[in-house]
Amino acid sequence: MPRDIDPSLNRRRLRIELRKARENAGLTQRDATKALEWSLSKLIRIEAGTVSLGVTDLRALLQLYEVTDAALVAELEDAARGSKGQSWWAQYSDVVSPQYALYLGYEGSADTIRMYNPTILPGLVQTEDYATALVSALSPESLLRQQVDLRLSRQERFFDGSDGPRIDIVLDEAAVRRQVGGPAVMRRQIDHLLSLTEHPRTNLRVLPFSAGAHFSVATPFILLSFRDDDDLLYVEGPGGGLSSRDDLALMARYQECFEEISAIAYEGDRMTDLLGAVRESLDNS
Protein backbone atom coordinates (compact mmCIF):
# COMPACT_ATOMS: atom_id res chain seq x y z
CA MET A 1 0.00 0.00 0.00
CA PRO A 2 1.41 3.42 -0.85
CA ARG A 3 2.56 5.39 2.12
CA ASP A 4 0.34 8.37 1.35
CA ILE A 5 -3.04 6.56 1.53
CA ASP A 6 -2.66 4.48 4.66
CA PRO A 7 -5.57 5.24 7.04
CA SER A 8 -3.13 6.03 9.86
CA LEU A 9 -1.64 8.85 7.78
CA ASN A 10 -5.07 10.36 7.17
CA ARG A 11 -5.80 10.16 10.91
CA ARG A 12 -2.52 11.92 11.59
CA ARG A 13 -3.38 14.68 9.09
CA LEU A 14 -6.70 15.21 10.87
CA ARG A 15 -5.01 15.21 14.27
CA ILE A 16 -2.59 17.98 13.30
CA GLU A 17 -5.12 20.23 11.57
CA LEU A 18 -7.89 19.83 14.14
CA ARG A 19 -5.63 20.47 17.10
CA LYS A 20 -4.27 23.59 15.36
CA ALA A 21 -7.78 24.79 14.50
CA ARG A 22 -8.98 24.31 18.08
CA GLU A 23 -6.02 26.22 19.48
CA ASN A 24 -6.53 29.02 16.93
CA ALA A 25 -10.14 29.22 18.10
CA GLY A 26 -8.93 29.69 21.67
CA LEU A 27 -10.66 26.55 22.93
CA THR A 28 -9.46 23.82 25.25
CA GLN A 29 -10.41 20.21 24.60
CA ARG A 30 -12.91 20.46 27.45
CA ASP A 31 -14.43 23.63 25.94
CA ALA A 32 -14.90 21.92 22.59
CA THR A 33 -16.44 18.74 23.96
CA LYS A 34 -18.80 20.71 26.18
CA ALA A 35 -19.99 22.77 23.19
CA LEU A 36 -20.52 19.63 21.08
CA GLU A 37 -21.88 17.52 23.96
CA TRP A 38 -19.19 14.93 23.32
CA SER A 39 -17.17 12.95 25.82
CA LEU A 40 -13.71 14.34 26.47
CA SER A 41 -12.15 10.97 25.67
CA LYS A 42 -13.62 11.08 22.14
CA LEU A 43 -11.80 14.30 21.26
CA ILE A 44 -8.61 13.14 22.97
CA ARG A 45 -8.57 10.02 20.78
CA ILE A 46 -9.24 12.08 17.64
CA GLU A 47 -6.41 14.50 18.45
CA ALA A 48 -4.11 11.56 19.25
CA GLY A 49 -4.79 10.09 15.80
CA THR A 50 -5.82 6.74 17.24
CA VAL A 51 -9.36 6.60 15.81
CA SER A 52 -11.06 7.31 12.52
CA LEU A 53 -13.33 10.32 12.13
CA GLY A 54 -16.63 10.51 10.28
CA VAL A 55 -17.36 13.42 7.95
CA THR A 56 -20.36 14.49 10.07
CA ASP A 57 -18.25 14.78 13.23
CA LEU A 58 -15.51 16.52 11.27
CA ARG A 59 -17.94 19.15 10.00
CA ALA A 60 -19.19 19.74 13.53
CA LEU A 61 -15.64 20.40 14.70
CA LEU A 62 -14.81 22.67 11.77
CA GLN A 63 -17.98 24.69 12.33
CA LEU A 64 -17.15 25.07 16.01
CA TYR A 65 -13.59 26.14 15.18
CA GLU A 66 -14.84 28.50 12.44
CA VAL A 67 -12.75 26.88 9.72
CA THR A 68 -14.17 28.18 6.45
CA ASP A 69 -11.36 27.69 3.92
CA ALA A 70 -13.14 25.62 1.27
CA ALA A 71 -9.98 23.92 0.00
CA LEU A 72 -8.89 22.92 3.50
CA VAL A 73 -12.38 21.69 4.40
CA ALA A 74 -12.47 19.53 1.25
CA GLU A 75 -9.02 18.15 1.98
CA LEU A 76 -9.95 17.26 5.55
CA GLU A 77 -13.20 15.65 4.45
CA ASP A 78 -11.19 13.44 2.08
CA ALA A 79 -8.85 12.59 4.97
CA ALA A 80 -11.83 11.71 7.16
CA ARG A 81 -13.17 9.34 4.50
CA GLY A 82 -9.70 7.82 4.20
CA SER A 83 -9.21 7.49 7.95
CA LYS A 84 -11.36 4.37 8.05
CA GLY A 85 -10.19 0.91 7.16
CA GLN A 86 -7.20 -1.22 7.96
CA SER A 87 -3.57 -0.17 7.95
CA TRP A 88 -0.91 -2.20 6.18
CA TRP A 89 0.04 -4.03 9.37
CA ALA A 90 -3.53 -5.25 10.09
CA GLN A 91 -2.68 -8.70 8.74
CA TYR A 92 -0.06 -8.95 11.50
CA SER A 93 -2.43 -7.88 14.29
CA ASP A 94 -1.61 -10.97 16.39
CA VAL A 95 1.94 -9.72 16.87
CA VAL A 96 1.42 -5.93 16.88
CA SER A 97 0.69 -4.41 20.28
CA PRO A 98 -1.52 -1.29 20.49
CA GLN A 99 1.52 0.83 21.35
CA TYR A 100 3.52 -0.54 18.43
CA ALA A 101 0.56 -0.06 16.07
CA LEU A 102 0.42 3.59 17.12
CA TYR A 103 4.16 3.88 16.50
CA LEU A 104 3.85 2.32 13.02
CA GLY A 105 1.20 4.88 12.15
CA TYR A 106 3.55 7.72 12.98
CA GLU A 107 6.57 6.04 11.42
CA GLY A 108 4.80 5.94 8.06
CA SER A 109 4.76 9.73 7.81
CA ALA A 110 8.12 10.53 9.39
CA ASP A 111 10.64 12.67 7.54
CA THR A 112 13.60 11.23 9.45
CA ILE A 113 13.98 8.05 11.52
CA ARG A 114 16.88 7.81 13.97
CA MET A 115 17.41 4.59 15.90
CA TYR A 116 19.79 2.79 18.22
CA ASN A 117 19.76 -0.66 19.80
CA PRO A 118 22.51 -1.68 22.23
CA THR A 119 22.06 -5.45 22.08
CA ILE A 120 20.60 -6.65 18.78
CA LEU A 121 20.35 -5.28 15.27
CA PRO A 122 17.23 -3.15 14.66
CA GLY A 123 14.38 -4.90 12.88
CA LEU A 124 14.67 -2.47 9.98
CA VAL A 125 18.06 -3.93 8.96
CA GLN A 126 17.59 -7.61 9.83
CA THR A 127 17.83 -10.28 7.15
CA GLU A 128 15.13 -12.92 7.04
CA ASP A 129 17.50 -15.55 8.48
CA TYR A 130 18.60 -13.27 11.31
CA ALA A 131 15.01 -12.28 12.12
CA THR A 132 13.92 -15.91 12.12
CA ALA A 133 16.71 -16.95 14.47
CA LEU A 134 16.03 -14.03 16.79
CA VAL A 135 12.24 -14.35 16.90
CA SER A 136 12.42 -18.12 17.45
CA ALA A 137 14.24 -17.41 20.72
CA LEU A 138 11.74 -14.77 21.85
CA SER A 139 8.27 -15.76 20.66
CA PRO A 140 6.05 -18.86 20.35
CA GLU A 141 6.61 -20.83 17.18
CA SER A 142 3.01 -20.16 16.13
CA LEU A 143 3.79 -16.43 15.84
CA LEU A 144 7.25 -16.74 14.27
CA ARG A 145 6.22 -16.37 10.61
CA GLN A 146 4.05 -13.33 11.30
CA GLN A 147 6.82 -11.63 13.28
CA VAL A 148 9.36 -12.17 10.52
CA ASP A 149 6.98 -11.17 7.71
CA LEU A 150 6.11 -7.98 9.60
CA ARG A 151 9.80 -7.03 9.69
CA LEU A 152 10.26 -7.77 5.99
CA SER A 153 7.12 -5.84 4.98
CA ARG A 154 8.25 -2.86 7.04
CA GLN A 155 11.65 -2.93 5.33
CA GLU A 156 10.07 -3.01 1.87
CA ARG A 157 8.04 0.09 2.67
CA PHE A 158 11.14 2.09 3.55
CA PHE A 159 13.94 0.78 1.38
CA ASP A 160 12.14 0.08 -1.92
CA GLY A 161 11.66 3.05 -4.22
CA SER A 162 12.94 6.59 -4.08
CA ASP A 163 10.27 8.02 -1.79
CA GLY A 164 10.59 7.67 1.96
CA PRO A 165 12.25 9.03 5.08
CA ARG A 166 15.92 9.45 5.77
CA ILE A 167 17.02 6.61 8.04
CA ASP A 168 19.90 7.23 10.44
CA ILE A 169 20.97 4.16 12.42
CA VAL A 170 23.67 3.72 15.04
CA LEU A 171 24.53 0.03 15.37
CA ASP A 172 26.27 -1.14 18.52
CA GLU A 173 29.38 -3.28 18.17
CA ALA A 174 27.81 -5.72 20.63
CA ALA A 175 24.86 -6.19 18.28
CA VAL A 176 27.14 -6.57 15.27
CA ARG A 177 29.27 -9.23 16.97
CA ARG A 178 26.45 -11.22 18.63
CA GLN A 179 26.10 -14.39 16.55
CA VAL A 180 22.35 -14.62 16.20
CA GLY A 181 21.68 -17.78 14.19
CA GLY A 182 25.35 -18.74 13.97
CA PRO A 183 28.27 -17.75 11.72
CA ALA A 184 26.59 -18.40 8.35
CA VAL A 185 23.55 -16.31 9.23
CA MET A 186 25.76 -13.52 10.55
CA ARG A 187 27.94 -13.48 7.45
CA ARG A 188 24.86 -12.85 5.32
CA GLN A 189 23.68 -10.26 7.83
CA ILE A 190 26.98 -8.38 7.72
CA ASP A 191 26.88 -8.46 3.92
CA HIS A 192 23.40 -6.95 4.08
CA LEU A 193 24.59 -4.17 6.38
CA LEU A 194 27.41 -3.39 4.00
CA SER A 195 24.94 -3.22 1.11
CA LEU A 196 22.77 -0.79 3.07
CA THR A 197 25.69 1.65 3.25
CA GLU A 198 25.03 2.26 -0.46
CA HIS A 199 21.36 3.11 0.04
CA PRO A 200 20.81 6.81 -0.76
CA ARG A 201 18.49 7.52 2.17
CA THR A 202 20.28 5.44 4.80
CA ASN A 203 23.19 6.35 7.03
CA LEU A 204 24.81 3.63 9.17
CA ARG A 205 27.32 4.04 11.97
CA VAL A 206 28.79 1.56 14.45
CA LEU A 207 29.34 2.50 18.08
CA PRO A 208 32.54 0.68 19.18
CA PHE A 209 33.04 -1.04 22.54
CA SER A 210 35.55 1.69 23.40
CA ALA A 211 32.71 4.23 23.59
CA GLY A 212 31.89 2.97 27.08
CA ALA A 213 28.70 3.84 28.93
CA HIS A 214 26.11 6.40 27.83
CA PHE A 215 22.52 7.39 28.64
CA SER A 216 20.89 4.63 26.55
CA VAL A 217 23.50 1.91 27.03
CA ALA A 218 20.77 -0.58 27.99
CA THR A 219 17.75 0.87 26.16
CA PRO A 220 16.87 0.71 22.46
CA PHE A 221 15.04 3.75 21.16
CA ILE A 222 13.76 5.41 18.01
CA LEU A 223 13.31 9.13 17.29
CA LEU A 224 10.87 10.21 14.60
CA SER A 225 11.08 13.69 13.07
CA PHE A 226 8.37 15.31 10.94
CA ARG A 227 8.17 18.34 8.66
CA ASP A 228 4.89 19.46 10.20
CA ASP A 229 4.90 18.14 13.75
CA ASP A 230 6.96 17.71 16.91
CA ASP A 231 9.49 14.91 17.24
CA LEU A 232 8.31 11.65 18.75
CA LEU A 233 10.22 9.17 20.91
CA TYR A 234 9.62 5.41 20.96
CA VAL A 235 11.41 3.52 23.72
CA GLU A 236 11.47 -0.22 23.12
CA GLY A 237 11.36 -3.05 25.64
CA PRO A 238 9.12 -3.97 28.60
CA GLY A 239 7.08 -0.99 29.69
CA GLY A 240 8.21 0.98 26.66
CA GLY A 241 6.19 2.74 24.04
CA LEU A 242 5.55 6.16 22.58
CA SER A 243 6.52 9.07 24.77
CA SER A 244 4.19 11.92 25.51
CA ARG A 245 5.00 15.04 23.54
CA ASP A 246 4.56 16.85 26.85
CA ASP A 247 7.66 15.15 28.28
CA LEU A 248 10.08 17.51 26.61
CA ALA A 249 12.88 16.77 29.06
CA LEU A 250 12.85 13.06 28.24
CA MET A 251 12.69 13.77 24.52
CA ALA A 252 15.63 16.17 24.77
CA ARG A 253 17.69 13.64 26.72
CA TYR A 254 17.30 10.99 24.04
CA GLN A 255 17.96 13.52 21.28
CA GLU A 256 21.16 14.53 23.07
CA CYS A 257 22.11 10.88 23.53
CA PHE A 258 21.70 10.16 19.82
CA GLU A 259 23.87 13.13 18.93
CA GLU A 260 26.51 12.05 21.44
CA ILE A 261 26.76 8.45 20.25
CA SER A 262 26.61 9.53 16.59
CA ALA A 263 29.58 11.83 17.13
CA ILE A 264 31.79 9.03 18.47
CA ALA A 265 30.48 6.14 16.38
CA TYR A 266 32.50 4.84 13.45
CA GLU A 267 31.33 5.81 9.99
CA GLY A 268 32.66 5.58 6.47
CA ASP A 269 35.84 3.54 6.08
CA ARG A 270 36.25 3.00 9.83
CA MET A 271 32.80 1.45 9.98
CA THR A 272 33.23 -0.75 6.93
CA ASP A 273 36.64 -1.87 8.22
CA LEU A 274 35.06 -2.92 11.52
CA LEU A 275 32.24 -4.76 9.74
CA GLY A 276 34.80 -6.39 7.47
CA ALA A 277 36.84 -7.53 10.47
CA VAL A 278 33.73 -9.02 12.06
CA ARG A 279 32.90 -10.84 8.85
CA GLU A 280 36.45 -12.16 8.56
CA SER A 281 36.27 -13.53 12.10
CA LEU A 282 33.08 -15.35 11.10
CA ASP A 283 34.84 -16.85 8.09
CA ASN A 284 37.45 -18.28 10.45
CA SER A 285 34.97 -19.61 13.00
pLDDT along the chain (285 residues), means of 10: 64 91 96 96 90 94 96 94 88 89 86 96 97 94 95 93 91 97 97 96 96 92 89 79 77 95 96 96 84
Q: Are residues 61 and 115 in the same domain?
A: no
Q: Are residues 62 and 110 in the same domain?
A: no
Q: Are residues 51 and 122 in the same domain?
A: no
Residue 244, pLDDT score: 64
- Residue 74: give its domain's CATH number: 1.10.260.40
Q: Are residues 152 and 55 in the same domain?
A: no
- Domain coverage including residue 220: 89-283
pLDDT (tens digit per residue) in 125-149? 999 999 999 999 988 999 999 999 9
End-of-domain residue from the set 31, 58, 82: 82
Q: Are residues 224 and 95 in the same domain?
A: yes
Q: Are residues 174 and 277 in the same domain?
A: yes
Residue 283, pLDDT score: 85
Q: Are residues 103 and 72 in the same domain?
A: no
- Residue 251: give its domain's CATH number: 3.30.870
Secondary structure of the chain in the HEC alphabet? CCHHHCHHHHHHHHHHHHHHHHHHCCCCHHHHHHHHCCCHHHHHHHHHCCCCCCHHHHHHHHHHCCCCCHHHHHHHHHHHHHCCCCCHHHHHHHHCCHHHHHHHHHHCCCCEEEEEECCCCCHHHCCHHHHHHHHHHHCCHHHHHHHHHHHHHHHHHHHCCCCCCEEEEEEEHHHHHCCCCCHHHHHHHHHHHHHHCCCCCEEEEEECHHHCCCCCCCCCEEEEECCCCCCEEEECCCCCEECCCCCHHHHHHHHHHHHHHHHHCECHHHHHHHHHHHHHHHHCC
Q: Are residues 245 and 222 in the same domain?
A: yes
Residue 230, pLDDT score: 82
Could you give the number of structural domains in the chain? 2
Residue 108, pLDDT score: 83
Residue 5, pLDDT score: 61
Q: Are residues 65 and 114 in the same domain?
A: no
Q: Are residues 244 and 207 in the same domain?
A: yes
Q: Are residues 96 and 215 in the same domain?
A: yes
Does the reported pTM lie above 0.75? yes
End-of-domain residue from the set 82, 106, 130: 82
